[in-house]
């Protein structure tokens, strides 16, 4: 059993070589499979293979390389990260993410993490006994994941023109672990321009607007996250003309608008700053919006934006109606406004909102 090979991870060739050097520096034998230097065919990355007996020692090395190190956020790298779980939500997110990467002239990295069986050991004197059933489960998980990933790529590339796909040179990372933890760790070491992912996954409950993995990424990262609903148009980016940001006239909102305008500038879309008046002094709110409009016009003469006042006692309903009536293409929120995020993603409210059917949510740190 000790001589049996298992796949530690599937990685882009450059990262696979780095991992091999790290493993070999710790005297762990390592083999690379599925190396395709021509890159003419669709593959699922280079498989990094190790002996089964080295699994416990190798996993921490892999995790350190992919991000499980606490350090300050680095300068963003020129790529778009697309976490997938093979659901229809992931497929739609991958299509939108591909278009965004192409628009930004960035690389695209498709990332999948499958649940990892715990490597239990039983200490007895100076002997450690391995549970062979766990390694069998690992092997089955690896094979099933590989099949699903290949099927997912086939669906994706059947929609995208072959020339565009080859030009994009996408990279794939497939590993065993915990999805939200692994994604966040990878982002911390390799911060992307943007994360594009499904607004929820295949295991989400029908009443949930936001999946647990998507929520974890949104609330715990400082890079922009675009959450894509299942019914968003396949060519969403082509029709991305307006994004709305809800303001409550906090000083923080000027920082948020500054970052939002810079964030969406490459997409040449209009930014609408809206405020929901819930029965207070409407004239005062109108005056404050006008002041915001003048300040932003002076600072960003090149940007297309507007300020709108909306009346309504229920904040989520008012935002939803505004999205419907004005054909808004994306709702922008900041992690600073956790109260709005929490209320919008409340299951009771989500069932009534249109935004969970076709309007992407752009969440950014400000």
Structure tokens at 194: 């943007």
Looking at residue 41, its pLDDT comes to 44
For tokens 């400000």, the residue is 366
- pLDDT at position 228 over 60: yes
Q: What is the pLDDT of residues 38-94, one digit of tens each?
A: 444 445 578 888 988 888 888 888 888 877 544 444 578 999 999 999 988 899 999
Secondary structure element (H or E) that encloses residue 100, with its range: helix 88-104
Q: Pick from 322, 204, 225, 208: which is nearest to 274 by CA?
A: 322
DSSP tag of 85: -
Looking at residue 193, its pLDDT comes to 94
Strand, helix or coil at 263? helix
What structural domains does the chain harbor?
Answer: 5-228 (3.40.50.620), 240-364 (3.40.50.620)
Structure tokens at 363: 């969440």
Looking at residue 120, its pLDDT comes to 42
Q: What is the pLDDT of residues 292-328, one digit of tens each?
A: 888 888 888 888 888 889 888 887 788 888 988 898 9
Looking at residue 145, its pLDDT comes to 85
- pLDDT at position 165 over 70: yes
114-123, 154-163, 183-192, 352-361: the lowest-pLDDT one: 114-123
Structure tokens at 100: 């965004």
Phi-psi region of 197 (alpha: psi -120 to 50; beta: other; left: phi over 0): beta
156-165, 208-217, 219-228: the lowest-pLDDT one: 208-217
- pLDDT at position 249 over 60: yes
- Cα radius of gyration rounded to whole Å, the chain: 23
User: What CA–CA distance (Å, rounded) separates 220 from 184?
Assistant: 7
Structure tokens at 85: 């779980």
């Amino acid at each position: 059993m000790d001589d049996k090979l298992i796949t530690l991870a599937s990685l882009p060739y450059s990262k696979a070589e780095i991992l091999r050097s790290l493993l070999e520096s710790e005297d762990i034998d390592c083999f690379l499979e599925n190396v395709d230097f021509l890159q003419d065919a669709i593959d699922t990355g280079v498989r990094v293979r190790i002996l089964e007996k080295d699994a416990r020692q190798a996993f921490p090395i892999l995790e350190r390389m992919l991000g499980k190190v606490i350090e300050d956020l680095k300068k963003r790298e020129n790529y778009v990260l697309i976490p997938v779980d093979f659901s229809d939500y992931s497929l739609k997110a991958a299509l939108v993410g591909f278009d965004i990467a192409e628009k930004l002239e960035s690389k695209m990295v498709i990332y999948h993490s499958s649940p990892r069986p715990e490597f239990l050991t039983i200490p007895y004197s100076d002997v450690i006994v391995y549970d062979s059933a766990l390694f069998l489960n690992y092997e089955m998980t690896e094979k099933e994941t590989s099949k699903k990933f290949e099927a997912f790529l086939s669906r994706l590339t059947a929609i995208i023109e072959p020339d565009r796909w080859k030009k994009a040179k996408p990279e794939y990372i497939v590993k065993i672990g915990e999805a939200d933890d692994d994604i966040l760790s990878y982002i911390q070491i390799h911060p992307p321009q943007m994360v594009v992912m499904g607004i929820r996954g295949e295991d989400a409950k029908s009443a949930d607007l936001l999946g647990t993995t998507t929520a974890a990424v949104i609330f715990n990262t400082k890079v922009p996250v675009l959450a894509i609903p299942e019914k968003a148009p396949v060519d969403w980016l082509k029709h991305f003309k307006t994004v709305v940001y809800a303001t409550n006239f906090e000083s923080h909102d000027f920082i948020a608008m500054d970052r939002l305008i810079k964030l969406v500038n490459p997409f040449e879309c209009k930014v609408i700053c809206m405020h929901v008046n819930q029965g207070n002094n409407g004239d005062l709110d109108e005056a404050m919006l006008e002041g915001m409009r003048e300040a932003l016009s002076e600072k960003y003469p090149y940007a297309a934006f507007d300020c709108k006042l909306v009346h309504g006692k229920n904040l989520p309903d008012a935002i939803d109606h505004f999205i419907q009536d004005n054909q808004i293409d994306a709702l922008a929120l900041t992690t600073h406004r956790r109260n709005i995020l929490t209320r919008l993603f409340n299951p009771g409210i989500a069932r009534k909102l249109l935004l969970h059917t076709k309007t992407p949510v752009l969440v950014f740190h400000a």
